[in-house]
């Protein structure tokens, strides 16, 4: 019996090790892709930074304005764009913006494309915007897989999809790789009191991204 239990422990440990290895490999490949493609698309990224005011949030453009500019589908990052990092639901002003966006585009044309498509936020959206979909099971941004999946689900060409993201080398770069339009949120939601370590990490990361992009030859 003890031998069987020991065997079971070894099998479980091995399986857990495999999952961890997969996650680690996925994280490494998404960082490598960010650097390689970031270099390749450096001129586009430099222009995006130069054209984006430091105060830019998701609220700056109304759904009506976006629709007038030819946008048919929204792909929204969650952390930083709709709410501070790790939050379970969007902030109040974003909920209002989403309500207007769903009446202009329809809930079926709005997607959450986050590298963290899990947790209580899924339940919150299922209750309040039941037809709005999370994209999961794809390689993390900057791989363009998420936007390509949205293109398939909606039959809307990527050039009419707007990817709103607070990260240059993940969401905005994935939009460029997929042929979609990036909206760079330079003034993300941050709540230091509730998530100090993570928020500081991402403040530094966003600054490093801009530094990397600006000083590329």
Smallest gap, in angstroms, from Cβ of residue 77 to Mg ion?
4
CA 21 to chain CA centroid, Å, is 23
- Rounded distance, CA 28 to CA 186, Å? 25
Q: Which stretch binds Mg ion (CB under 5 A): 31-39, 76-84, 96-104, 172-180?
A: 76-84
Binding residue for Mg ion, selected from 77, 145, 199, 209, defined by CB under 5 A: 77
Smallest gap, in angstroms, from Cβ of residue 117 to Mg ion?
12
Give yes or no for residue 84 binding Mg ion (CB under 5 A): no
C-alpha distance from residue 13 to each of 6, 22, 39, 109 (Å): 10, 14, 39, 42
Choice between 145 and 166, CB closer to Mg ion: 166
Smallest gap, in angstroms, from Cβ of residue 88 to Mg ion?
15
Strand partners, 111: 75, 133
- Rounded distance, CA 102 to CA 96, Å? 10
Choice between 104 and 150, CB closer to Mg ion: 150
Strand partners, 135: none
DSSP secondary structure letter of residue 115: S
Residue 113 in 3-state DSSP?
coil
- Rounded distance, CA 101 to CA 134, Å? 16
Choice between 80 and 142, CB closer to Mg ion: 80
Q: Which stretch binds Mg ion (CB under 5 A): 14-22, 62-70, 147-155, 164-172?
A: 164-172
Q: Which stretch binds Mg ion (CB under 5 A): 29-37, 61-69, 70-78, 96-104?
A: 70-78
Binding residue for Mg ion, selected from 38, 80, 142, 146, defined by CB under 5 A: 80
Residue 168 in 3-state DSSP?
helix
Smallest gap, in angstroms, from Cβ of residue 170 to Mg ion?
8
Binding residue for Mg ion, selected from 33, 166, 199, 209, defined by CB under 5 A: 166
* Structure tokens belonging to residue 156: 């809307």
Q: Contact residues for Mg ion (CB under 5 A)?
A: 77, 79-80, 166
């Amino acid at each position: 019996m003890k031998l069987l239990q020991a065997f079971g422990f070894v099998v479980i440990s091995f399986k857990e090790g495999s999952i961890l290895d997969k996650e680690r490999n996925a994280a490494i490949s998404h960082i490598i892709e960010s650097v390689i493609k970031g270099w390749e698309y450096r001129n586009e990224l430099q222009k995006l930074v130069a054209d984006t005011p430091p105060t830019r949030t998701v609220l700056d453009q109304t759904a009506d304005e976006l629709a007038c500019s030819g946008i048919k589908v929204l792909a929204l990052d969650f952390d930083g764009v709709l709410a501070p990092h790790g939050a379970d639901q969007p902030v109040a002003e974003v909920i209002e913006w989403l309500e207007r966006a769903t009446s202009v585009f329809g809930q079926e044309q709005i997607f959450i494309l986050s590298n963290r498509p899990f947790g209580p936020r899924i339940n919150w959206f299922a209750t309040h915007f039941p037809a709005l979909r999370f994209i999961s099971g794809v390689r993390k941004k900057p791989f363009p897989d998420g936007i390509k999946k949205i293109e398939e689900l909606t039959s809307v060409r990527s050039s009419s999809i707007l990817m709103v993201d607070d990260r240059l080398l993940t969401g905005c770069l994935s939009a460029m790789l997929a042929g979609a339009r990036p909206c760079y949120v330079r003034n993300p939601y941050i709540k230091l009191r509730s998530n100090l370590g993570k928020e500081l990490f991402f403040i530094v990361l966003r600054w490093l991204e801009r530094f990397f992009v600006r000083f590329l030859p």
